[in-house]
Amino acid sequence: MGTEVEKNVEELIKWEKIKYEVPDLTGMVETPKIEEFASRKYTSQLFKNKDALQRLGYPIEGLIPDWKTKFLEKFDEILRKYRSVKLFMDICVRCGACADKCHFFLGTKDALNMPVARAELMRRVYRRYFTTPGKVFGKSLGAAEELSEELLALWYIYFYQCSECRRCSVFCPYGIDTAEITMAAREILNSVGLVQKYMHEIIDKAQYIGNNLGMIPDAVRNSIEFVESDLKDQTGMDIKIPLDVKGAEVLFVTPSADFFASPHIESLYGYAKVFHQAGISWTMSTYASEGGNFGLFSSNYNHVKIINKRIWDAARELGVKRVVGGECGHMWRVLSSYSNTLWGPFDFLDPKHPIPQHICEFTLDLINKGALKLDKSANDAFTVTFHDSCQVARGMEMGGSAHGQYEIPRAVIKACVNKYVDMPENTIKEKTFCCGAGQGLLGDDMLPIRVKGAMPRMQAVKAVKDSHDVNFLALICAICKAQMSKMFPTYGYPMEEVGGIHQLVGRAIVLGAKEGV
């Protein structure tokens, strides 16, 4: 019986290479008519590495035979641990305010990609097993649904077609945050043995080896040496990227993609030049060689906590005074919003600076102090626009202000370029559209859904390309960079038009011009 059940569900969510069409670009985002199960086939691969699953604490043989019991146990546990989930199960009135706000719905037209419909997948189960009306009145009157393999398959498919970007939460009259619901659903799926590959492979690597890319310390060192010699070739100067230096002022953490991926590495050049020019002693760490924290993407508190631990252990061991985080969206959310809860208080750090500090806060502070000389004309080839990363834009304050996360990155860009223009108002700041690959959807197996999910952002890009000849999309997130450098060519634009803010800073900075701070 057990194996029969397993085969059944795995058949329903079987991954296969499918053909997809790239949407036409018109510069407008139109709300489509709903289509049932339009993206039903866009599934992601299951994780089958038994060693890793063992380490993660999840079932290693796929769906467990008595999955319904475990499913409800885990659901109950999450309801008791997370007020957000409990409350969001109860108070939705299905007004539809969120329905046309999700980039995956706009891109796929699939009815179940409306945030409310996605959440209803969970609410149907919630009502059936955790509420009196659902238990008594059942399916039609109570809108409740028995657990079944079909429903389980829909959970797996559609909770991995959500990038937890929280755009729906901005528009919900009760602030219902589908990200919280998706995170909970994913952890429930994990507990019964349906573990998604891309995301959990990385959660495993980050805990087991120390960074998302699985680079051992020597590999990190080699990459950094390569970057240093590259900087030497570019500038003729000895710009160092210090590693594991005790007593440095700043510990700098950044996504490991910045070590060699393109265009990420261009921002690493920028960070190094900023530290060099400011004359602030800094270090990176081979132990805390990852800023990103994929643990955020499911409600597994200990995963997010263990991954976060490295940064603060390294900060303590190296005896630094400040911790600065590089360009990464979800990393920044965990670092700024969760770190203090997970591993605080950080009373060993210098309270004069934000703990931790975002690289844009750091750089803008130096610019405002006059410690950096910037030559805007170095970027005159570019007309720049800025994509607010979802986890930053709808995450926490920067610079102590509720709107700092919008103003500070823009201020840094404007200090480095002459030509800057914003995308349409309903696609930026708190209303920003996700890149379409956040929170565990960046795998190659999810390319069809990534292409559809990127559509609203690409339409906004098209709009400013038409009106202002924009040719550079500035980003502050490793996932956005990876996704957009893939989507630009897919939608017919050059890949080189995508890059980080510190790529622009690095190009504009005049080295050796001043003494620094």
Partner 1 sequence: MGTDRIIFAVLVYAVTCIFIIGFVGHFARWLASPNPLKIPTGPAPVTQGGTALRVLSEVVLFRSLFAADKGLWLGGYIFHLSFLIVILRHLRYFFYPVPEWVMFFSEIGIYAGFTLVLSLLYLLLRRLAIDRVRYISNFMDYLYPALIIAIGTTGLIMKYVARPIIVDIKDFMLHLMALSPIPLPDSLDGMFILHLIMVLLLIFLFPFSKLMHAGGVFITPTRAMVNNPRTKRHINPWADEEWGKRLAEAEGKPDAYKPWSMEQWREKWGQK
Site for partner 1 in 449-508 (CB under 8 A): none
Please report, in angstroms and rounded to a whole number, the separation of the first and last CA atoms in the chain.
70
- Which one among 59, 107, 210, 295 touches partner 1, defined by CB under 8 A? 210
Q: Which of residues 306-325 bind partner 1 (CB under 8 A)?
A: 306, 309, 313, 317
Whichever of 86 and 373 has its CB closer to partner 1, that residue is: 86
Whether the Cβ atoms of residue 484 and residue 450 lie closer than 8 Å to each other:
no
- Which one among 344, 492, 494, 512 touches partner 1, defined by CB under 8 A? 344
- Which one among 345, 352, 370, 515 touches partner 1, defined by CB under 8 A? 345
Whichever of 329 and 453 has its CB closer to partner 1, that residue is: 329
Instruction: For 441-469, give one letter per residue: b (16+ CB within 10 A) or e.
Output: bbbebbbbbbbbbbbbbbbbbbbbbeebe
Among 110-118, 233-241, 247-255, 437-445, which window interacts with partner 1 (CB under 8 A)? 110-118
- Which amino acid, one-letter code, is at 350? D
User: Does residue 395 bind partner 1 (CB under 8 A)?
Assistant: yes
Whether the Cβ atoms of residue 187 and residue 74 lie closer than 8 Å to each other:
yes
CA distances from 324 to 29, 181, 224, 245 (A): 37, 30, 18, 15
Binding mask 223-262 for partner 1 (x = CB under 8 A): ----------------------------------------
- Which one among 236, 400, 425, 444 touches partner 1, defined by CB under 8 A? 400
If binding means CB under 8 A, how many residues of this protein chain bind partner 1? 91
- Which one among 28, 146, 208, 421 touches partner 1, defined by CB under 8 A? 208
- Which one among 6, 180, 266, 290 touches partner 1, defined by CB under 8 A? 180
CB of 298 to partner 1, least distance (A): 13
In angstroms, the CA 409 to CA 407 distance is 6
In angstroms, the CA 216 to CA 218 distance is 6
**DSSP summary character for residue 429:** G
Whichever of 73 and 469 has its CB closer to partner 1, that residue is: 73
- Which one among 2, 14, 96, 229 touches partner 1, defined by CB under 8 A? 96
> 414-418, long-range: CB within 8 Å, 24+ apart, which pairs?
415/364, 415/367, 415/374, 415/376, 415/508, 416/374, 416/376, 416/379, 416/501, 416/504, 416/505, 416/507, 416/508, 417/376, 417/379, 417/380, 417/382, 417/384, 417/504, 417/508, 418/376, 418/377, 418/379, 418/380
- Which one among 59, 354, 409, 499 touches partner 1, defined by CB under 8 A? 354
- Which one among 15, 20, 174, 260 touches partner 1, defined by CB under 8 A? 174
User: Does residue 73 bind partner 1 (CB under 8 A)?
Assistant: no
- Which one among 18, 28, 91, 421 touches partner 1, defined by CB under 8 A? 91
Among 77-85, 262-270, 437-445, 490-498, which window interacts with partner 1 (CB under 8 A)? 77-85
Binding mask 420-439 for partner 1 (x = CB under 8 A): ---------xxx--------
Q: Which of residues 30-59 bind partner 1 (CB under 8 A)?
A: 31, 33-34, 51, 54-55, 57
N residues, the chain? 517
CB of 208 to partner 1, least distance (A): 6
User: Does residue 120 bind partner 1 (CB under 8 A)?
Assistant: yes
207-201-336 Cα angle (round to 5): 50
User: Does residue 266 bind partner 1 (CB under 8 A)?
Assistant: no
CB of 240 to partner 1, least distance (A): 18
In angstroms, the CA 502 to CA 417 distance is 12
Beta bridge partners of 283: 251
Beta bridge partners of 324: 252, 357
